[in-house]
């Protein structure tokens, strides 16, 4: 008894924190793992929330057993009254009976357990408050007599299954004839391997056995329990006829009730079982991954390069360079030649790009041709390769879900890429030198025009045979001639300079546009792998939450 009590005082990790962690697991498992297992875990959470709020000072103990095992007789013996009907050949307990000791508020707890038949006892004695000095203190005990788990009535079996999921401490009553029944071992005991701290096995009716048969029977029961994974569950041999084992059973129950830990241990075992099942479905402990890590730089660059080609970034940067050169010549070129430039379409405006819209406007669309089959196939293959890299080492169902998300994103790539390109500021604002050279060109043009008009005036006077004043000389040349020839020649030379400057500026603007377009494409890259990263994070978060739910 001392060893048993010592074992029951082992600390249980904070149950509320473990239930909260299991709640996180359920939220992450929704839609990812087996819905039946997720629903079962959700029931565990709901049950824990309710049980922890109801009668924390009470301990519910259920006597479960097969027809004829004598559990009702054992129930009556523990209560000290004939409270539950007894029958040896057919099930007589159709609904659970409850016997409550002490003044604790067990009514709400029994309402939740849906147990209608209730009997109230004094702390240690029978109904009415008579004290029994041989009975230990049962204050806070709620003892239940369940229907037979092998009953031919389906409702009886369902009632047993329902209450076995809710009670704090389970006492399985076996008898010498049917202790090896496969139903009790495979359907109940084996499934409760994690519930050793809240299980107790009673071999009843040992008065039917002699000493040697009793020893052999107890040895065989212990063997069967070890095979069920319950090798440490206490076994008590009892007889309601001779009273054998009843004091020991009462002492164990009193110790469990006094410890006030059975409910917590039961719920902790439920959380363990639910979390272990979800962990198995999630691929076991699996690989531990860094949720902050994304694609490695090399893979990120490969994917961005493929998406850039699919988005037509090379064509756009070429159009930026051509548009810069054309606009520079039109702004700073020789004015008479600018009119010819106006007849040529602007490379960027023809693609509906660089119209002053900012990045991120989903309404903007370009006139770029859609990516060809080859470029699109390369982009989709790059997305799949990136997804495969990110989910490498993860167990199912994570890779399958991640790949499905990546494929769905790949279908939207053309539209996303077009919006990214069309919404990018390509940096086509005119530099200051365009205006400076443009003004200079107009000044030179006006000078040339002045010289030409002056010469025309002198020619007109000569044609009319009128006296004409001699124009000023610049060296050996008349000033009007110098103005005309100098203005035209200087404008032509300045136009050549503007073309050279435009070529240099076009290369710089093309590099800047390529950098900005790549930054815009990188947002598409991140969106393309986001479903995969989401699954990675969900997997890692679930593993950490499972660790907390299991008290690790």
CA distances from 421 to 248, 250, 324 (A): 81, 80, 18
510-528 in b/e burial notation, b at 16+ Cβ within 10 A? bebbbebbbebbbebbeeb
Q: Provide the b/e sequence for 158-190 (b: ≥16 CB within 10 Å).
A: ebbeebbebbbbbbbbbbbeebebeebbeebbb
Going by their DSSP bridges, the two strands 199-203 and 169-174 should be labelled as: parallel
Using CA atoms, how far residue 136 sits from 246, 249, 253, in Å, is 11, 10, 9
102: alpha, beta or left? (left if phi > 0; alpha if psi -120 to 50): left
Which tokens belong to 170?
């389970």
- The overall pTM is greater than 0.75: no
Determine the Cα–Cα distance for residues 372 and 391; give it in Å rounded to an integer: 29
Closest CA relative to residue 196, chosen from 7, 333, 28, 468? 7
In what helix (H) or strand (E) does residue 434 lie, and over which residues does it extend?
A: helix 432-463
* 375 vs 382: CA distance, rounded Å: 11
Tens-binned pLDDT, residue by residue, of the chain (552 aa): 333 333 333 445 589 999 999 999 999 999 889 999 999 999 999 999 999 888 888 999 999 988 888 888 899 898 887 766 655 544 455 678 888 987 667 888 998 998 887 787 765 554 444 444 445 678 889 999 998 887 777 778 888 889 999 999 999 999 998 898 888 898 899 988 889 999 999 999 999 999 999 999 999 999 999 999 999 999 999 999 999 999 999 999 999 998 888 999 999 999 999 999 999 888 776 556 665 566 778 878 888 888 888 888 888 888 888 888 888 888 887 787 776 666 677 777 777 776 544 444 454 566 666 666 666 777 777 777 777 777 777 788 888 888 787 777 777 777 788 788 888 888 888 888 888 988 888 888 898 888 889 889 888 887 887 777 888 888 788 888 888 888 889 888 888 888 898 889 889 988 998 999 888 888 888 888 888 888 888 888 888 899 999 987
Q: In what order do the strands lie in the sheet with 169-174?
A: 117-121, 97-101, 141-145, 59-65, 169-174, 199-203, 235-237
Place of tokens 């027809």: 67
Nearest to 300 by CA among 311, 310, 308: 308
Q: Is 429 helix (H, G, I), strand (E, B) or coil?
A: coil
Crossing angle for the helix pair 313-332 and 432-463, to the nearest 10 degrees: 40
CA-to-CA separations, 210 to 44, 205, 206, 242, in angstroms, rounded: 44, 11, 8, 13
Q: Of 20, 19, 38, 21, nearest to 29 (Cα)?
A: 38
Q: Count the helix, strand and coil residues of the chain and give each as a percent rounded to the nearest 5.
A: 60, 5, 35
Cβ partners under 8 Å of residue 242, min gap 6: 207
Classify 471 in phi/psi space as left (phi over 0), alpha (psi -120 to 50) or beta: beta
Helix (H, G, I), strand (E, B) or coil at 260: coil
């Amino acid at each position: 008894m001392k060893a048993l009590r010592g074992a029951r005082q082992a600390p249980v990790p904070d149950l509320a924190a473990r239930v909260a962690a299991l709640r996180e697991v359920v939220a992450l498992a929704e839609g990812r793992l087996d819905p039946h297992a997720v629903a079962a875990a959700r029931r565990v959470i709901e049950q824990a929330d309710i049980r922890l709020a109801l009668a924390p000072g009470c301990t519910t103990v259920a006597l479960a057993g097969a027809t004829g095992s004598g559990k009702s007789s054992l129930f009556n013996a523990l209560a000290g009254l004939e409270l539950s009907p007894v029958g040896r050949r057919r099930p007589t307990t159709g609904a659970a009976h409850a016997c409550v000791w002490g003044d604790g508020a067990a009514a709400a707890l029994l309402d939740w357990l849906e147990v209608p038949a209730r009997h109230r006892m004094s702390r240690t004695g029978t109904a009415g408050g008579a004290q029994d000095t041989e009975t230990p203190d049962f204050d806070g005990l709620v003892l239940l007599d369940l229907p037979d788990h092998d009953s031919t009535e389906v409702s009886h079996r369902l009632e047993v299954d329902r209450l076995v999921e809710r009670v704090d401490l389970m006492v399985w009553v076996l008898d010498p004839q049917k202790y090896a029944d496969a139903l009790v071992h495979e359907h109940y005991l084996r499934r409760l391997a994690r519930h050793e701290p809240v299980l107790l096995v009673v071999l009843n009716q040992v008065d039917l056995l002699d000493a040697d048969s009793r020893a052999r029977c107890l040895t065989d029961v212990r063997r069967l329990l070890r095979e069920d994974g319950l090798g440490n569950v206490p076994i008590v041999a009892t007889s309601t006829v001779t009273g054998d084992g009843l004091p020991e059973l009462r002492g164990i129950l009193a110790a469990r009730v006094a410890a006030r830990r059975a409910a917590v241990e039961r719920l902790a075992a439920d959380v363990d079982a639910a979390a272990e099942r979800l962990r198995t479905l999630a691929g076991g402990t699996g690989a531990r991954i860094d949720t902050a890590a994304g694609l490695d730089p090399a893979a990120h660059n490969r994917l961005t390069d493929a998406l850039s080609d699919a988005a037509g970034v090379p064509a756009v940067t070429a159009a930026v360079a051509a548009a810069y050169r054309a606009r520079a010549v039109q702004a700073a070129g020789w004015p008479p030649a600018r009119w010819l430039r106006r007849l040529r379409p602007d490379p960027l405006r023809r693609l509906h790009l660089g119209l002053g819209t900012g990045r991120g406007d989903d309404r903007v669309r370009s006139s770029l041709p859609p990516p060809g089959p080859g470029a699109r196939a390369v982009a989709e293959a790059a997305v799949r390769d990136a997804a495969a890299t990110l989910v490498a080492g993860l167990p199912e169902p994570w890779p399958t879900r991640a790949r499905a998300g990546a494929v769905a994103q790949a279908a939207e790539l053309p539209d996303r890429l077009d919006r990214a390109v069309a919404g990018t500021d390509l940096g086509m604002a005119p530099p200051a030198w365009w205006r400076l050279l443009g003004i200079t060109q107009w000044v030179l043009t006006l000078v040339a025009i002045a010289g030409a008009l002056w010469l025309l005036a002198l020619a007109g006077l000569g044609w009319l045979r009128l006296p004409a004043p001699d124009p000023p000389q610049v060296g050996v040349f008349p000033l009007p001639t110098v103005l005309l020839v100098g203005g035209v020649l200087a404008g032509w030379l300045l136009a050549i300079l503007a073309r050279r400057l435009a070529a240099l500026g076009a290369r710089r603007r093309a590099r800047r546009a390529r950098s900005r377009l790549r930054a815009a494409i990188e947002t598409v890259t991140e969106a393309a792998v986001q479903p995969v990263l989401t699954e990675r994070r969900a997997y890692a978060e679930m593993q950490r939450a499972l660790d907390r739910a299991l008290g690790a």
